[in-house]
Amino acid sequence: MRPTTPCGQPDLVSIVVPFFNEADGIQLFHQTLRPILDSQPQVRFEVICVDDGSQDHTLEQLLALSGLDGRFRVIELSRNFGKEAALTAGIDMASGEAVIPIDADLQDPPELIAALLAEWRRGFDVVLARRVDRTADSFLKRTTASLFYKVHNQISTIQVPQDVGDYRLMSRNAIEALKQLPENQRFMKGLFAWIGFRSTTIDYVRHTRASGKTKFSGWRLWNFAIDGITSFSTAPLKVWTYIGGAGAVLSLCYASFIVLRTLILGVDVPGFASLLVAILFLGSLQLISIGVLGEYIGRIYLESKQRPTYIVRQRYGVADES
């Protein structure tokens, strides 16, 4: 069983919510979340709302919401750093004994919070929320997501649970372990999986987006997938050793064939088309391999700068821990 909180105080649970241009859905988010929080009188809640450089009225509405409901606290970042950075900022600011990241679009149902807390009280450090029905997502998104999980888990030693997003519960022990990971280019699903800890899974049906539209275009999802693979696997680098070795063997075999044919049949005029194809094919392979090297070198370059993952412009209702 999980240790009890000292002095008989109710457990403090932090809910971390990144926001980026979500002004149209903030009121609905609050209306949906408030009764769920009220239904857990044995728990104290803080809702860390991270404004990730929104360009609409998201910040103003979050501040108004914070004034109406003291459980809502607002972190304003200096610009748009991306969801992974905003999520990191919220987790860093959270002071609860458990932390629950959730999106503001209500695709991941807040009604699951009670079940997450129940499993946490049973002694689990991490409670995963797994999507068993993703019909709310497009066919292309479901297909590419499934392909990504399969490829990532095949080539990486860290297994990212399939159909599990950021929505989960993490104990304070897990959060403190996560905060020790210093990298700037963050693939949070992989970092969540890397820290380990005793975990369990709860299944749920993913809802349609309550308002607004997704901020992840196909191009951003592609780059996100590359970040995920290069963050936890060097297989893309290793594979070119085998491709180069196979090419060398094939080249040696073909050279031997040419020598034997010349000795038996005499000199033959080489075909221009076959020569051109061979040059273009090998040149393309070299460019691809350089591109893969570039991805890893680029990550090294960015990490070597040691820039902060995010910069906070202002905190509203959150105590400064510095």
- The angle formed by the CA atoms of residues 318, 309 and 15, to the nearest 5 degrees, is 40
Residue among 211, 122, 115 nearest 167 (CA): 115
Percent residues over pLDDT 90 in the chain:
5
Q: What distance in Å separates the CA atoms of residue 26 and residue 106, rounded to the nearest whole number?
A: 10
Q: With a cut of 70, say whether residue 195 has pLDDT above it.
A: yes
Q: Is residue 31 left, alpha or beta, with left meaning phi > 0 and alpha meaning psi from -120 to 50?
A: alpha
Kindly give the interhelix angle for 218-232 and 272-305, rounded to the nearest 10 degrees.
80
Would you state the pLDDT for residue 214? Answer: 58
State residue 53 phi and psi, 5-degree precision: 70, 40
Q: Which of 29-33, 117-121, 205-209, 299-303 has the lowest mean pLDDT?
A: 205-209
Would you state the pLDDT for residue 169? Answer: 92
What digits encode the pLDDT tens for the residues 56-76?
A: 888 888 888 888 888 899 998
**217: confidence class by pLDDT, cuts 50, 70, 90:** low
Would you state the pLDDT for residue 320? Answer: 45
Tokens of 252: 């040696």
Q: Which of 129-133, 181-185, 247-251 has the lowest mean pLDDT?
A: 247-251
DSSP strand pairing (11-19 vs 43-51): parallel
What digits encode the pLDDT tens for the residues 78-111?
A: 888 888 888 889 998 888 889 999 888 888 888 8
Percent residues over pLDDT 70 in the chain:
74
Neighbours of 288 (CB within 10 A): 12
Q: With a cut of 70, say whether residue 216 has pLDDT above it.
A: no
Would you state the pLDDT for residue 134? Answer: 63
Would you state the pLDDT for residue 16? Answer: 92
What digits encode the pLDDT tens for the residues 222-253?
A: 666 666 666 666 667 777 777 777 776 777 77
Residue among 225, 224, 232 nearest 83 (CA): 224
Tokens of 66: 């914070």
Q: Is residue 201 left, alpha or beta, with left meaning phi > 0 and alpha meaning psi from -120 to 50?
A: beta
**1: confidence class by pLDDT, cuts 50, 70, 90:** very low
Kindly state the average pLDDT of the residues 178-184: 83
Contact between 210 and 28 (Cβ < 8 Å): yes
Q: What distance in Å separates the CA atoms of residue 171 and residue 228, rounded to the nearest whole number?
A: 24
Both ends of the chain: CA-CA distance in Å?
33
Q: With a cut of 70, say whether residue 4 has pLDDT above it.
A: no
> Highest mean pLDDT range out of 56-70, 132-146, 154-168, 184-198?
56-70
The residue count of the chain comes to 322
Kindly state the average pLDDT of the residues 289-300: 78
Mean residue pLDDT of the chain comes to 77
HEC string of 97-158? Answer: CEEEECCCCCCCCHHHHHHHHHHHHCCCCEEEEEEEECCCCCHHHHHHHHHHHHHHHHHCCC
